[in-house]
Chain A
Amino acid sequence: MATAKKSKKNKKRSQWSEVWRRLKKNKMAMVGLTILTIIVLLAVFADFIADYDEVVIKQNLKERLQGPSAKHWLGTDEFGRDIFARLIHGARVSLKVGIISVGISIIIGGILGSIAGYYGGLIDNIIMRTMDIFLAIPSILLAIAIVSALGPSLMNLMIAVGISSVPSYARIVRASVLSIRDQEFIEAAKAIGASDLRIVLKHIIPNTLAPVIVQGTLGVAGAILSTAGLSFIGLGIRPPAPEWGAMLAGGRAYLRYAWHVTTFPGLAIMTIILALNFLGDGLRDALDPRLKQ
């Protein structure tokens, strides 16, 4: 009995362990995953590396705009604050915004997309045409409009970034639901007496997860970029809280004689987005069962 249970657990994970096995073979994806893990660890343990009130927020004008040194690894900004400390604390904000806003768009987009795809007809038309209207507005403009309407705060920022990318998730989910809805196993599920809700939740949605996961990983990168963009124009995180986009914006006045103030936040944004893109591409290949050797 004990062995039976053990083998059951092993088998249960087999589908995901298979994906993991294939992901491991992809060097770029592993590089992306490693970078991402380092950034996540830095963000999680940021308080142990640099104290928020003393180092990240407190101004020290005597040490302003110093270049990289042993004391300040990445130099200091225009108020004499350590850039490395601000970057790792800023990573918390960026990661939180990235993940939560993508979560918001996956949930809303997923629900709308599966309703549209499963029921089709008029409901599909109403939902997808509304999504088309949203798609017609550039997402950064839409986010700006939503933040301006709700007022700048971390929560509103996440809502704005999340809502502005709902249409793309709705489209992806609808497309996969459409292709799965007509498969014979859905008909078979109907033939065993399963209700619509059960069919959508247990048979259709698990089959649409792969493209959504891939889009989600790439979407986190997009959301971080949007947040940086909104903070850059002053609609994101309010100073003195550290945020990569806001740091980039703050340093641009000193670009000619203190390059490090803008360069390092910019590099941080670039690195995390690159890492997420590598991982997303790798996941896309690993999740595609047709590529199984």
Chain B
Amino acid sequence: MRENKELLNIENLAIHYITDDGTVKAVNGINIKLNKGETLGLVGETGAGKTTTALGIMRLVPNPPGEIMSGVIEFEGRDLLKISEEEMRKIRGNKISMIFQDPMTSLNPVMTVGEQIAEVIEIHQNVSKQEAMEKAGEMLELVGIPKARLNDYPHQFSGGMKQRVIIAIALACNPQLLIADEPTTALDVTIQAQVLDLMNNLKNEFNTAMILITHDLGVVAEVCDKVAIMYAGEIVETASLEQLFENPKHPYTVGLFGSIPKLDEEVDRLKPIKGLMPDPTNLPSGCKFHPRCPYAKDICTKKEPKVTELENGHKVKCLIYEGLVDVKEVK
């Protein structure tokens, strides 16, 4: 059993992009709790606000137009939204690091990979250039690339190897929290599995907590302890991995599972969720999911659901579980 210590506590975080064409409500009051060494899967469609949440934790939301409207991001007991930029810089890459989606463009093309791994060590640790380079070599070995390639440039690596280099950069300072923003989306399926395995092993070795952003429930099943389902800037369901996969509650989550083919059932057609994500500049009233929800009733258009805790840690944001909409079983 891991020590059950709270590492990250996000409360009521809201991030909006204020543009001339209107305010994009990317993240609307989300709550996330994460303990040391735990892995949270943040799942949602494109545009659900997953990446914005991640950038918010790093305080890297592009400003303008992005603005963190309200909320608390407590990391190791400190509110990240209240500390100075200087202090935040000491946390980035050191205590919290991030892996970006596209390994092809996340590395500087004119620096050797060694220099890029050594850079993060130089910034955060009081070591000489040579020591940093040596450490960079060790990190490279750790992610399964021979040390001799320290002085190669990114264009000499394949996509999967670049992602390994990026993982080496992210883990070089032994962070408490790793945010991985769709780390395998840009990779081949075979390489995906390798990279996920690698991340999982290293995470366990260093006892790093991780937020894994993905839209692939298969990836979640493989790596995560907890799952949060995001829709239109809100977390609609939070549960442990088992709870979610065995007993999904929210109609959206059920819809997500319905759109994945199952091996053990013969199905002619998948059941996709009808409709599209709502326009984030003009979100629907009441429950954000009601225009696409097969169980929606009149009340769903008016009343915004509260978070209901069903059983030990399984929380869902839907009027059905508040007893206000009469549905026998969500399937």
Q: Which residues of B contact A194 (CB under 8 A)?
A: 89, 93, 119, 123
- With A193-B90, A195-B89, A207-B108 given, is the CB distance from A187 to B120 under 8 Å? no
**A188 beta carbon closer than 8 Å to chain B:** yes
Q: Is B258 an interface residue (CB 8 A)?
A: no
CA A128 – CA B98 in complex, angstroms? Answer: 35
Nearest B-chain residue to A206, judged by Cβ: B110
Q: Could you list 9 further interchain pairs (A-B, Cβ under 8 angstroms) beyond the known A184-B101, A193-B94, A202-B119?
A: A4-B148, A12-B151, A15-B153, A184-B100, A185-B107, A191-B93, A193-B90, A194-B93, A195-B89
| Nearest chain B residue, comparing its CB with the CB of A210 | B110
Interface residues of A in 153-199 (CB under 8 A from B): 183-185, 187-195, 198
Q: Is the Cβ of A192 less than 8 Å from the Cβ of B151?
A: no
A188 touches B106 (CB 8 A): yes
**Chain B contacts with A in 99-118, Cβ cutoff 8 A:** 100-102, 105-112
Which secondary structure characterizes the binding site on chain A? helix
- Output the least CB separation between B77 and chain A (Å): 20
Contacts across chains A and B counted by CB atoms under 8 Å: 78
Contact across chains for B120 and A206 when beta carbons are under 8 A apart: no
- Which residues of A sit under 8 angstroms from B119, Cβ to Cβ? 189, 192, 194, 202
In the complex formed, the residue of A with least CB distance to B179 is A191
The interface residues of chain B lying within 8 Å CB-to-CB of A198 are 123
Cβ of B53 within 8 Å of any chain A Cβ, yes or no, is: no
Q: Is A11 an interface residue (CB 8 A)?
A: yes
Contacts of B242 in A (CB 8 A): none
A14 CB within 8 Å of chain B: yes
Given A190-B92, A194-B123, the answer on whether A11 and B151 have CB atoms closer than 8 Å is yes
Collect the chain A residues with CB atoms within 8 Å of residue B150's CB.
Answer: 8
In whole angstroms, how far apart are the Cα atoms of A190 and B92 in the complex? Answer: 8
Residue in B93, B106, B120, B148 whose beta carbon sits within 8 Å of that of A7 in the complex: B148
- Complex: A188 Cα to B119 Cα, angstroms: 12
Q: Which of B77-93 contact A (CB under 8 A)?
A: 89-93
Residues of B within 8 A of A184 (CB): 100-102, 105-106
A173 to B112, CA, bound (A): 23
Contact B93 A185 (CB under 8 A): no
B60 within 8 A of A: yes
- Chain A's nearest CB lies how many Å from the CB of B124? 6
A14 contacts which chain B residues (CB < 8 A)?
153
The answer for the CA separation of A122 and B302 in the assembled complex, in Å, is 44
A252 to B123, CA, bound (A): 63
Q: Tell me if A203 counts as interface (CB < 8 A to partner B).
A: yes
Once the chains bind, are A193 and B151 in contact (CB under 8 Å)?
A: no
Number of chain A residues close to chain B: CB under 8 A: 25
- Asked whether any CB of chain A lies closer than 8 Å to the CB of B230, the reply is no
Residue B169 at the chain A interface, CB threshold 8 Å: yes
Is there contact, CB below 8 Å, between B89 and A193?
A: yes
Return the 3 tightest CB-CB contacts between A and B, nearest first: A192-B93, A11-B151, A193-B92
CA distance A118 to B97 in the complex (A): 23
Please name all residues of chain B whose beta carbon is closer than 8 Å to the beta carbon of A193 when the two chains form the complex: 89-94, 120, 123-124
Cβ-based interface call for B166 (8 A): yes
- Please name all residues of chain A whose beta carbon is closer than 8 Å to the beta carbon of B60 when the two chains form the complex: 187, 190-191
- The reply to whether A192 and B111 contact each other, CB–CB distance below 8 Å, is no
Which listed residue, A4, A11, A189, A195, touches B152 by the CB 8 Å rule?
Answer: A11
State in angstroms the CA–CA spacing of A207 and B124 once bound together: 24
CA distance A7 to B148 in the complex (A): 9
Judging by beta carbons under 8 Å apart, are B166 and A188 in contact? Answer: yes
Instruction: Report the minimum CB–CB distance from B125 to chain A (whole Å).
Output: 11
Cα A148 to Cα B151 in complex, Å, equals 52
Q: Does B58 sit at the interface, judged by CB under 8 A?
A: yes
Q: How far is the CA of A15 from the CA of B109 in the complex (A)?
A: 11
CB within 8 Å of B: which of A4-26?
Answer: 4, 7-8, 11-12, 14-15
Residues of B58-76 contacting chain A, CB below 8 A: 58, 60
**In the complex, what residues of B have CB within 8 A of residue A289's CB?**
109, 155
